[in-house]
Amino acid sequence: MNSLAKPSRLLTAFVWLALAWLSVSNCMAADKQLRIGSLVPKNSLYHRQLMDIGEAWRAVQAENSKYVVYPDGSQGGEAEMARRMRIGQLQGALLSVVGLQEIEPSITALQAIPMLFRSWEELDYVREKMRPSMEKKFFDKGFVVLAWGDAGWVRFFSKDAALRPDDYKKMKFFAWGSEADQQAIMKSLGYTPVPLETSDILPAIQTGMINVVPSTPYFALATQIYTSAPHMLEINWAPIVGALVLTRKSWDGMSPATQVAMRAASEKAGVQIRAKARQEVDEAVDAMKKRGLIVSRPNAEQMREWTEFAEKLYPRIRGTMVPADTFDEVMGHLKDFRAGKAK
């Protein structure tokens, strides 16, 4: 009996050692490879910041660590990148609200309420107030938010000049394919949204499939949208808000030292992205004006029309595009800020 028990114990010990090694190997593999997707143009400010984060990550890894950034939407649109993270094809992504809402819908409160924020200071205040609870929501859904950024104000780039809300009713709008609620609201108001992916914008506007693109100036310059849509309406329709997120699986596979390095590098990148992106709004407009962009500035009466139009959208947005409780929370924080109660 003893002669049989000994091999059995040895076999059991071997199995446990093998399982332990497999577990360690899986953690090491997760820690040594990070694939990050984004729509940001290659060599842009955002791409460079992602690469800097990678350098901080690699500095605490083994020599064979692999950090790859896929810019220019090479991994698909933002909804597709969110899907790829869930199935492990990507470990992270730098996404705007369009992609982030595929993970946590309440994030839309920072971007989907038009003409709500009057300044970057207002946006910063509201975002920081909501940041702890928002990051917890992402964490509970399997993602870690490492950095917050933005990419400028959305303005309307069109083939023909337009100044009033009604002027755009005869045009065909680019719309994110994943934003069905927004498209339904637009249609109900007499507008024509055309759902597309970002990579389809330029050929679509060149062929006349669409006539107007809501875009930040920097993106319009980088992608050459303005060459086919040379009229820009100078209103701050909404900020483009984004964040760098990693899957919790990849995060949990990192050592404590790696996590500290990643958080520090990401927080620094977020600050730099926000500062530089805001500066580049005016720089991008100036660069495009030198190459033929025509900027239209609404007068006081036209601005009142835009403000009234935006405010009429709020009841439609609350509870559809933005969860009602989050919509109300944003409004409350903004009211406090404007009343001088910001703390």
Looking at the DSSP bridge assignments, the partners of residue 295 are 232
Phi-psi group of 48: left, alpha or beta (phi > 0 → left; psi -120 to 50 → alpha; rest → beta): alpha
Is the pLDDT confidence value at 21 over 60?
A: no
Is the pLDDT confidence value at 26 over 50?
A: no
Task: Give the residue-averaged pLDDT of 30-36.
Answer: 77
Q: What is the pLDDT of residue 236?
A: 95
Phi-psi group of 285: left, alpha or beta (phi > 0 → left; psi -120 to 50 → alpha; rest → beta): alpha
- Sheet of 294-296: strand order equals 192-196, 172-176, 212-215, 155-158, 231-233, 294-296
Alpha-carbon distances, residue 230 vs 34, 113, 205, 222, 274 (angstroms): 39, 26, 11, 14, 26
Q: What is the pLDDT of residue 342?
A: 57
Is the pLDDT confidence value at 100 over 90?
A: yes
For 252-301, write each residue's pLDDT tens digit: 999 999 999 999 999 999 999 999 988 888 899 999 999 999 999 999 99
- The pair of structure tokens assigned to 234 is 């100078």
For the chain, the 3-state helix, strand and coil shares in percent, each to the nearest 5, are: 55, 20, 25
Position with higher pLDDT, 177 vs 337: 337
Q: What is the pLDDT of residue 243?
A: 97
List phi, psi (to 5°) of 73: 65, 25
Task: Give the residue-averaged pLDDT of 162-170.
Answer: 96
Is the pLDDT confidence value at 7 over 60?
A: no
Give the domain ranges of the chain: 31-338
Q: How far apart are CA 304 and CA 1, in angstroms?
A: 93
Q: Where are the alpha helices (DSSP H) in 33-179?
A: 45-58, 78-86, 97-100, 120-140
The model's confidence at residue 2, banded by pLDDT at 50, 70 and 90, is very low
- The pair of structure tokens assigned to 53 is 């984060």
Amino acid identity, residue 187?
A: K
Q: Quick one: what percent of the chain has pLDDT higher than 70?
A: 89
For 37-60, write each residue's pLDDT tens digit: 999 989 988 999 999 999 999 888
Q: What is the pLDDT of residue 180?
A: 87
> Of 12-26, 83-97, 284-298, which range is least confident?
12-26
Q: What is the pLDDT of residue 188?
A: 93
Instruction: List Cβ neighbours of 304 (8 Å cut-off, separation of 6 or more).
Output: none
Are the C-beta atoms of residues 221 and 289 closer than 8 Å to each other? Answer: no
Q: What is the pLDDT of residue 176?
A: 83
Q: What is the mean pLDDT of the chain?
A: 89
Is the pLDDT confidence value at 70 over 70?
A: yes
Are the C-beta atoms of residues 50 and 94 closer than 8 Å to each other? Answer: yes
CA-wise closest residue to 87 among 25, 35, 23, 26? 35
Q: How far apart are CA 53 and CA 76, in angstroms?
A: 22
Task: Give the residue-averaged pLDDT of 109-120.
Answer: 96
Pairing of strands 66-70, 92-96: unpaired
Alpha-carbon distances, residue 167 vs 95, 127, 158, 162, 164 (angstroms): 31, 33, 11, 5, 5
Position with higher pLDDT, 3 vs 221: 221
Are the C-beta atoms of residues 159 and 251 closer than 8 Å to each other? Answer: no
Q: What is the pLDDT of residue 10?
A: 42
CA end-to-end span of the chain, whole Å?
Answer: 75
Q: How far apart are CA 15 and CA 289, in angstroms?
A: 69
Position with higher pLDDT, 159 vs 3: 159
For 226-250, write each residue's pLDDT tens digit: 999 999 999 999 999 999 999 999 9
Task: Give the residue-averaged pLDDT of 300-322.
Answer: 96
Q: What is the pLDDT of residue 343?
A: 56
Choosing among 3.40.50.460, 3.20.20.70, 3.40.190.170, 3.30.300.30, the CATH entry for 31-338 is 3.40.190.170
CA-wise closest residue to 302 among 217, 233, 214, 211? 233
Are the C-beta atoms of residues 173 and 214 closer than 8 Å to each other? Answer: yes
- The pair of structure tokens assigned to 80 is 């597709």
For 173-213, write each residue's pLDDT tens digit: 999 876 788 999 999 999 999 999 888 999 999 999 999 99
Q: How far apart are CA 50 and CA 92, in angstroms?
A: 11
